[in-house]
Structure 1
Amino acid sequence: MTVNTMFKRKVALYLWLVAGCLVPLVAQAKVVASEAPHQLISQTTDKLLVLIDEAKDYFDKNPQRYFDELSVIVEPMIDFNSFTRGVMGEYGTRDYYRSLSPEQRRVFKADYKRFVATFREGLMQTYGKGLLAFNGEKVVVEQPSEDDLQQVAAGKTVEVLQIIKGNDKSYEITYKMRPNKAGEWKLRNVTIDAINVGQLYRKQFAAAMDKYQGDLGKVINNWIEESSDAEKEAQKVARKNASVNSQEKQ
């Protein structure tokens, strides 16, 4: 594995977690500023960088402290129920739920609740460790355009562009955010260069459901392993994009 590939992998892991983070102190606040989503991404990035820097001194001896502090920043900012339904695709829709018998609905509710917890745990563990690989790259959040400000003021979906500037390449990350009914801005999806993270997980979930013949319980039991394939696919796409960019420069 080349140094560049290792860097891309580490950055991809870092970016995904940042995508779901908002500042704890303002996470429950209503939308009061037109540029709120952009401010929240910037402020959260700063907090994560501080946490990462401090955690490098104690993680090996006390990893739980790191994950606990990470959870304080991250978990209130992600609507895990909504995000998980998105990952489940057709299996997370109302139509699918309504197609089930009363007994099937009972089982589905229990499995769904367990999947949300499993999905959350997987993100915290996998990408939390990836964050520790961050090593001083410059992070810039682009200022909102006039169209962005109008979208925010109207409470509609807005995309926040962030750029990670490495030694040999810059990476563009787009956070798709939208306020919930309470006016709290929540992450809906993230795209790293051409890698749509939400679609990758959704594709992996569908493949797992086919593999286990529609048995949601088995998908949940094996989700950590199954979802690792989505990460590998992201790395594959990243390597392909890097190769194309390199050829274009030549």
Structure 2
Amino acid sequence: MLRIKRTLLKTFAVALLAPTLAIAAPTPPDQLARETVQTVLSEMDGRRDELRKNPQELYALINSELVPLMDLPYMSQLVLGRAWRTASPEQRERFQVAFKNMLIRTYGNGLLSFDGSQDIEYQPVRAAEGAEDVTFRAIVTTDDGQKTPVTFQMHVVDDEWKIYDGSVGNLSFVTNYRGQFNSQIRNGGLEKLIERMESRYNNGS
């Protein structure tokens, strides 16, 4: 009888722990990126004209589906570079919000150009077992045969894979934005940059 009780207790304990263990294992980075992109494109399918006329719906879609896949704090640190170290906590927070809104608009509008005529070939992630920093690659082929490589740099944050950099062609968007922001910071300072971004991207339009 005691043995039966112990068996039941072990079974009950495993049943309780199973969901926790499943949650603790992060979704593979290539699967996560592929499924997220396909979800966004599927949501846009047949609605592109509507989304162009109602951009807030587009931005809400990108915010709910793509933004959670990004490591915005780390990306913000990378693109600001030296200015991040001297920024106040308030400036860092304000910059992250404005930067997120900028990304939502930039890449949301970019994804509207995918009308189904493009073919996306997702390539397997090649990384050592247990790696926590990987490169996810895809090839986008247009209907005229032009191929464009797309990459995402991903790492593990709190048991989840997050994007912290990427490129279309050969240009890293962190490198690109860092060059733009550093130039503006040199000319007017970090506060002016943040105010300009807030005025442009935080107004809900």
Query: What TM-score does the superposition give when structure 1 sets the normalisation length?
Result: 0.64
Q: Quick one: structure 1 residues 157 and 116, their matched pair in 2 at CA, closer, same or farther if it must change by over 3 Å? A: same
Task: Report the Cα distance in structure 2 between the residues aligned to 1:192 and 1:61, rounded to whole angstroms.
Answer: 26
1:80 maps to which residue?
72
Q: State the distance in 2 between where 1:69 and 1:226 align.
A: 20
Equivalent-residue separation in structure 1 for 2:67 and 2:58 (angstroms): 14
State the distance in 2 between where 1:175 and 1:118 align.
22
Alpha-carbon distance, 1:57 to partner: 4.7
- C-alpha displacement of 1:216: 1.6
CA distance in 2, matches of 1:210, 1:72: 34
Distance across 2 between alignment mates of 1:61 and 1:192: 26
Q: Which residue in the other structure is 2:134 paired with?
A: 158
Alignment of 1:1-250 (within 5 A): 29-32=23-26, 36-93=28-85, 96=86, 108-136=88-116, 137-145=118-126, 148=127, 150=128, 153-166=129-142, 167-180=144-157, 182-212=158-188, 215-223=189-197
The alignment yields a C-alpha RMSD, in angstroms, of 2.3
Inter-CA distance 188–61: structure 2 relative to 1 (3 Å threshold):
closer
> How many percent of aligned residue pairs carry the same amino acid?
23
AA aligned to 2:40 is L
Post-superposition, which runs of at least 4 consecutive aligned residues in structure 1 deviate over 4 A?
224-227
Distance, in Å, in 2 between the alignment partners of 1:222 and 1:32 is 37
Deviations 1:204-244 (A, max 9, x none): 111111110xx3210112237999xxxxxxxxxxxxxxxxx
The alpha-carbon deviation at position 191 of structure 1 amounts to 2.2
Structure-2 change in CA distance of 1:60 and 1:135 (3 Å): closer
CA distance in 1, matches of 2:163, 2:26: 18
The structural deviation recorded for 1:70 is: 2.1
Contact 1:122 1:224 in 2 (8 A): no
Structure 1: unaligned runs, 5 residues or longer: 1-28, 98-107, 228-250
Stretch moving more, 189-198 or 49-58: 49-58
Aligned residues of 1:204 and 1:226 also touching (Cα < 8 A): no
Offset, 1:32: 4.3
3-state SS of 2:45 partner: helix
> Contact between 2:122 and 2:139, CA under 8 Å: does it hold in 1?
yes
Contact 1:161–1:174 under 8 Å retained in 2: yes
Q: Distance in 2 between matches of 1:118 and 1:196?
A: 20
Q: Answer whether contact 2:40 2:61 (CA < 8 A) is retained.
A: no
Structure ranking higher in strand proportion: 2
Larger Cα Rg: Structure 1 or Structure 2?
A: 2
* Distance apart, 1:122 and its partner CA: 1.1
2:200 & 2:48 partners in 1: Cα distance?
A: 29
Aligned residues: 177
Q: CA deviation at 1:62?
A: 3.3
